Amino acid sequence: MTFLTLTLTLDHHVATVALNSPPANVLSRVALFELNQAFGDLETNRAARAVLLTGTGRFFCAGADIKELALVNSARQGIVLAQEGQALLNRIERLDIPVVAALNGTCLGGGLELAMACHMRLAVAGIMLGLPETKLGLIPGFGGTQRLARIIGPARAAELILSGETMSAEQAFAWGLVNRVVSESQLMTDARALTVSFANKSRPAIQAALRAIRSGLDSPMAEGLSREAELFGELCESPEKKEGIQAFLEKRQPRFVES
């Protein structure tokens, strides 16, 4: 596909989606539509076994297009916009292959909501992250009030959302919002190495792990444990499990086939 606001490439089973709408990579309606197209394709692309999401320039993503947002003046318009953004981020979060966000620059508003929909986040040292919507008389509408509280806890989420202030990558790491803080020169190298390591694992095992984690977040502990046991049992019958165990016993690297 050819896009106006992003690029999508696939190399050695790792798909790289790069936001490319200078200067701030805002989530315009076109960008939202194209992200939905790109991740819709990745849902069915068997060659893609991990996704790396990043930005170009000084920003990862500065959030919504404020000029477009100024035209949203009714409750119905606002609900539709929020639901469209939520549907896209749900699609990313529920992808059955790992999605790693490589935060190359400033990450605000809808941009941080987009990053939180990814399964993990790496950030360049010193960049700023935040949800400034209250300064615009709004709240995060693409799932930010829900995901942030689940990631860092309700009290810290309330502080960040209510204040509308930004935090550094280092503070985000301390609060558990990002997995790693790295230098600018190391960001893509480290993120690429992480996605490649996932892509080289058994696809059914990776898929089952992501599904088990999601199940635990969406249901009580007892239901999550039951789902985990079901997925574990299913994998016990898979050729990947047989190969993984045999490789361990033979002290060699497993040779997982495309599944």
Catalytic residues: 113, 133
Separation of alpha carbons 162 and 160, rounded Å: 6
Pairing relationship of beta strands 14-19 and 99-103 according to DSSP bridges: unpaired
Spatial contact of 109 and 138, defined as CB atoms under 8 Å apart? no
Q: Let me know the angle formed at the C-alpha of 187 by 211 and 35, rounded to the nearest 5 degrees.
A: 50
What is the phi-psi region of residue 12: left when phi exceeds 0, alpha when psi lies from -120 to 50, beta otherwise? left
CA distances, 249 to each of 106, 242, 243 (Å): 47, 11, 10
Helices (DSSP H) in the chain: which residue ranges? 29-44, 66-69, 75-93, 110-117, 144-152, 154-163, 169-174, 187-199, 203-218, 221-235, 239-249
Residue with the two structure tokens 């990947």: 240
> DSSP letter at 256?
P
AA letter at 111: G
Distance of CA 62 to the CA centre of its chain: 16
Burial of 241 (0-12, 13-18, 19+ CB in 10 A): middle
